């Protein structure tokens, strides 16, 4: 029987829009707007000035604390350093006007690197969790950190998104080699790739490749197609049977979980010396003329991507654009935002693909609690939040919420449960900060 977890939902997956779109490379735009915050943590400090000439792959942002460096994604001149909107707020951007040159800075490829050399290269190339979390990968894979198992999230359970699916199919060798480099870095003696069983072609390809190469330390495990199967604790349980308690890090159990694109980037950094200045993203949904999977230069404006994909679908225009998937993504307020290391998807939802229902009173049906993968009681967290009782929200486990959206998805009263829980979490965080 396929591994899975308790709770979760089966939303409309919408993968058909882009799953057969081979990865293509979008030509670099004339101008890129590179955000200095592309990872969890503080924004980078710019180390270039207006008027400087830069080359693709050159470091232009230096990390502050536990961050990751940021690189020029095209060759050209820095024309401005200014605050601009992002998908989640605002931050400083370095704006580069291209000069049409196609040069790039590459580091020396490493043939047989030590664990420390791999980890140093991952840090130097600015690799972060490409699934959206943006946590600097080097700190997760430090040698001697007690990691015994590396789990790769190949579930790609978020509806519509297919970039990881395409990477596993089209870059099988580089992806698996990236997984092996990550294992060597952190000292894991077992690698597990968890893939939802709706990607049977990927499972077959990966199994055939690891068998052909006799990589006996790598397991490819099919897991049930269910959202949010790719969430860390849920994937760990589905692939190993281990239950990691709420509030406990998987590293305490000797496990590190990473993303498919991150593994590919580790390969590119170590074996090809390529810093992280571009990524594969899915552009999809009924509201875009030509859905695609694309290599996109960091700092490319959403509106340039829309234009490259043939513009919006005039016969069925989008009513909502989302950065990420429909369950956990953020609504795009401004097409002048630019993509980052963690932009896995731009989703163009049409009227028929969006819920516009008005919330009504909770009917205490407990459906939300039944699907919560963290076994929380979302209705009580919301009730406390609406009453301003953040102690109560904390008591009901608001801080353990994944913000997966399963509860809101099944709520017959269309309660905005995730919105309330996010509010409780941010209030609790602010209070913790105030109290030192």
State the residues that interact with ligand SF4 by CB under 6 A: 362-368, 372-374, 376, 378-379, 401-407, 411-413, 415, 417-418, 421
Cα–chain-centroid distance for residue 132? 2
- Are the C-beta atoms of 381 and 362 separated by less than 8 Å? no
At its nearest, how many Å lie between ligand SF4 and the CB of residue 241? 21
The residue written with tokens 């290391």 in the block is: 341
Residue 9 or 79: the one with the smaller Cβ distance to ligand SF4 is 9
* DSSP result, 173-234: HHHHHHHHHHHHHHT-SEEEEEEETT-HHHHHHHHHHHHHTT-TTEEEEEE---BTTTSHHH
- In the bound state with ligand SF4, the residue whose beta carbon lies nearer, of 322 and 401, is 401
| Nearest to ligand SF4 of 110, 377 (CB atom) | 377
146 or 412: CB nearest ligand SF4: 412
- Rounded to whole angstroms, the Cα distance separating 81 from 32 reads 12
Would you state the structure tokens that stand for residue 277, as one six-digit string?
């200045």
Nearer to ligand SF4, 75 or 406 (CB): 406
**Least distance (Å) between residue 397 CB and ligand SF4:** 8
Q: Which pair of structure tokens corresponds to residue 301?
A: 């404006």
> With respect to ligand SF4, which residue has the nearer C-beta, 169 or 404?
404
What is the H or E stretch that residue 385 is in? helix 378-386
CA distances (Å), origin 294, targets 19, 21, 145, 178, 237: 12, 9, 35, 20, 32
Supply the minimum distance, in Å, between the C-beta of residue 196 and ligand SF4: 18
Closest CA to 272 of 281, 264, 262: 264
Instruction: Please report how close the Cβ of residue 213 comes to ligand SF4 at its closest, in angstroms.
Output: 38
Q: Of 237, 42, 63, give the one whose Cα is nearest residue 153.
A: 237
Please, which residues have CB within 8 angstroms of residue 204's CB and are 6 or more apart in sequence? none
* 93 or 415: CB nearest ligand SF4: 415
Name the minimum Å distance from CB 365 to ligand SF4.
4
Sheet of 255-259: strand order equals: 218-223, 190-196, 149-154, 255-259
| Cβ closest to ligand SF4, residue 61 vs residue 373 | 373
* Cβ 379 to ligand SF4 shortest distance, Å: 4
Q: CA–CA separation, 373 vs 233, rounded Å?
A: 9
What's the rounded Cα separation, in Å, for the pair 285 and 303? 16
Q: Could you tell me the smallest distance in angstroms from the CB atom of residue 233 to ligand SF4?
A: 10
In whole angstroms, the minimum distance from the beta carbon of 231 to ligand SF4 comes to: 8
């Amino acid at each position: 029987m396929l591994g899975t977890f308790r709770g979760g939902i089966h939303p409309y997956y919408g993968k058909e829009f882009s799953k057969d779109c081979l990865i293509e490379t979008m030509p670099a735009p004339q101008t890129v707007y590179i955000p200095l915050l592309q990872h969890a943590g503080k924004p980078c400090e710019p180390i270039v000035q207006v008027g400087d000439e830069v080359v693709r792959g050159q470091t232009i942002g230096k990390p502050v604390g536990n961050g990751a460096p940021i690189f020029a994604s095209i060759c050209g001149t820095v024309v401005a350093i200014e605050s601009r909107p992002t998908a989640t707020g605002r931050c400083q951007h370095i704006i580069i006007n291209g000069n049409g040159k196609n040069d790039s800075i590459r580091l020396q490829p490493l043939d047989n690197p030590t664990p420390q050399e791999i980890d140093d290269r991952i840090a130097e190339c600015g690799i972060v969790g490409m699934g959206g979390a943006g946590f600097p990968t080097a700190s997760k894979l430090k040698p001697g950190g007690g990691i015994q198992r590396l789990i790769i999230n190949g579930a790609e359970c978020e509806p519509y998104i297919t970039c990881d699916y395409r990477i596993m199919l089209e870059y099988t060798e580089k992806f698996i080699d990236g997984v092996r480099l990550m294992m060597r870095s952190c000292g894991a003696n077992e690698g597990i790739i968890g893939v939802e069983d709706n990607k049977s072609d990927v499972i077959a390809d990966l199994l055939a490749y690891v068998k052909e190469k006799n990589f006996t330390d790598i397991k490819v495990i099919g897991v049930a197609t269910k959202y949010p199967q790719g969430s860390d604790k849920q994937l760990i349980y589905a692939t190993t049977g281990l239950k990691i308690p709420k509030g406990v890090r998987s590293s305490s159990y000797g496990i590190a979980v990473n993303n498919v694109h991150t593994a590919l980037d580790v390969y590119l950094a170590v074996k090809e010396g390529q810093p992280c200045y571009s990524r594969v993203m899915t552009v999809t949904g009924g509201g875009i003329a030509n859905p695609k999977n694309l290599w996109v230069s960091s700092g490319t404006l959403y509106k340039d991507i829309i234009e490259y994909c043939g513009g919006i679908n005039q016969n069925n225009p989008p009513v909502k654009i989302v950065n990420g998937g429909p369950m956990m993504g953020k609504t795009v307020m401004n097409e002048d935002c630019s993509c980052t290391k963690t932009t896995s998807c731009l989703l163009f939802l049409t009227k028929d693909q969006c819920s516009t229902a008005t919330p009504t009173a909770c009917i205490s049906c407990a459906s939300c609690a039944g699907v919560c993968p963290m076994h929380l009681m979302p209705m009580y967290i919301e009730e406390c939040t609406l009453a301003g009782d953040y102690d109560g929200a904390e008591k009901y486990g608001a801080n353990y919420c994944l913000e997966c959206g399963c509860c809101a998805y099944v709520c017959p009263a269309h309660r905005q449960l995730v919105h309330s829980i996010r509010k409780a979490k941010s209030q609790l965080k602010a209070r913790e900060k105030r109290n030192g």
